[in-house]
Amino acid sequence: MGNKDVIYTAGGILWKKISGEYKIGLVCRKSFGEKWTLPQGELKDKESWEDAALREIEEEVGVKAKIIKYADTINYKAGETPKVVIYYHMQIAGESMTLLDSDIIRSEWYTPREALDLLAYEEEKELVKGIQFPGSDFMENIRKFSRQFGPVHYIRHLNTKSRVERLEGDLKTTRVELDFAIGKAAGKDDPPAWGVHAMELLDKAEKELQNNNLDLGWKKLHAARRLSIYGMTEEELAGKANTIRIEAKKLNEWRRTAIYTLIGDPDHPVADLNADSLARAAKIRDEYYSNEYYKNRLTQDVFTVLLFSMVICTAGIVLYFFLTDIDNLIIQNDADRSISTLGMVVGVLLFGLLGGSISSLFHIRESSVNNRIPEIISHNFVTVVRVIIGGGSALVIFIFLESELSGLILQDIDLKPANPYTYYALAFVAGFTERLLLKAISSITGKG
């Protein structure tokens, strides 16, 4: 595809549902020493990244595929030549009549976890680590609905303008810088291959911006910037490397160590610096900032969901007190004790959900300081389940205390409150934390 100072390759993370489980396709190659890799191959003249990826899937796996979305870009050295590979998430769309590539020994389907043990190259292992099928199953539809119509959507909308403006500005300045670098590198000849593909990535980044896919826009912008490294002079490479070494001080330990291994530390820079090592170091840095931004955005999303839940629960409680005769929910006299079951269940559920919401807010605040993305903020669904569990715990406690079982288990101790407010308090602490609940019950029974 023109100048061979960089090898440009497209590939696919090809998904197939087997026995209810999504697996990805791997191929075993002769030319790689019978090693397992993701399907991928070089772009032909005037072939787009997407077309090349689809063609390679057909030739190496023997199926037709459709692209779901962009996955990631990796770069490494093939011998002495820098290689850039763009991967797409794909799904099988039908059988292919194309003859399989003679270099392929066989292809098999594995879960991402199984693929980690088989893949021969660390770059591909990092690519599939922790990935999930990005399709439109039931829960994905729920998440899409939440993103489009839920509270997160409206809060994000308020914050989107500044993020869009920042990405727009960086795209414009990067395009000017690339134009200058390409012109300087090309001279009277055709534009260098790295420049052509860097501009293609900028075009794709602008399309992602137009579609409001800002995360993908940033990824493609960073990939375009890394390609420009292959057009730098030795002096420019040294300056860029020095900047990355300084930035590495802000990163977590393993990323900092990886960068220093590639390009040296500030006190001991690598003498024979090359563009490939610098591009890999830049990718490690970019991934860190992308992960930090992603974690911060997820944290903000979850805070929004929980605050919305807390406001709804609080409003529900206010309305509940307004419409309910609290003093008559539990009537106890010497002869008998009667309780308004429906009225108590509604109140207990509302206070349990409120406790779950507030507990989750505290948990998120503590978890968000970690360098890794905490499990609780990895999914809005997980957050909602945590709140629902709070309401469920409150109902279970209410049913237990009102049942004969409590008397059989805790003989000679009357745990049936005479006041509905005691139930509300227990419901709240049941939703908040089980340890606080045990202390509250112990206090009621006189053992705390």
Q: How confident is the model at residue 13 (pLDDT cuts 50, 70, 90)?
A: very high
343: CB partners within 8 A, 6+ apart: 324, 329
> Is the pLDDT reported for residue 2 higher than 50?
no
pLDDT at 407: 57
Which has the higher per-residue pLDDT, 272 or 364?
272
3-state secondary structure of 418: coil
Q: Helical H runs in 66-150?
A: 112-118, 122-128, 138-149
Write the pLDDT tens digit of every residue in 250-300: 888 888 999 999 999 999 998 888 988 999 999 999 888 887 777 777 777
What mean pLDDT comes out for the span 351-356? 89
What are the angstrom distances between the C-alpha of 291 and each of 8, 113, 126, 161, 358?
Answer: 26, 21, 14, 21, 26
The mean predicted confidence, pLDDT, of the chain is: 80
3-state secondary structure of 191: coil
In degrees, rounded to 5, the angle at the alpha carbon of residue 164 between the alpha carbons of residues 251 and 371 is 20
Global model pTM greater than 0.85 = no
Write the pLDDT tens digit of every residue in 102-145: 888 888 999 999 999 899 888 888 888 878 888 655 445 545 55
For the chain, which domains are there?
7-130 (3.90.79.10), 161-293 (no CATH), 298-445 (no CATH)
pLDDT at 448: 41
Percent of the chain with pLDDT over 90: 20
Write the pLDDT tens digit of every residue in 108-117: 999 999 999 8
What are the angstrom distances between the C-alpha of 10 and each of 33, 136, 299?
Answer: 21, 24, 33
pLDDT at 20: 79
What mean pLDDT comes out for the span 169-174? 87
Measured distance CA(321)–CA(191) in Å, rounded: 73
pLDDT at 165: 79
230, two tokens: 């292959």
pLDDT at 415: 61
pLDDT at 1: 43
Burial (0-12, 13-18, 19+ Cβ within 10 Å), 404:
exposed
> Is the pLDDT reported for residue 406 higher than 70?
no
> Is the pLDDT reported for residue 166 higher than 70?
yes
Percent of the chain with pLDDT over 70: 81
> Is the pLDDT reported for residue 315 higher than 90?
yes
pLDDT at 135: 65
Write the pLDDT tens digit of every residue in 43-62: 888 788 899 999 999 999 98
Question: Residue 437's closest CA among 395, 373, 407, 394?
Answer: 394
Question: Residue 248's closest CA among 240, 259, 262, 237?
Answer: 259
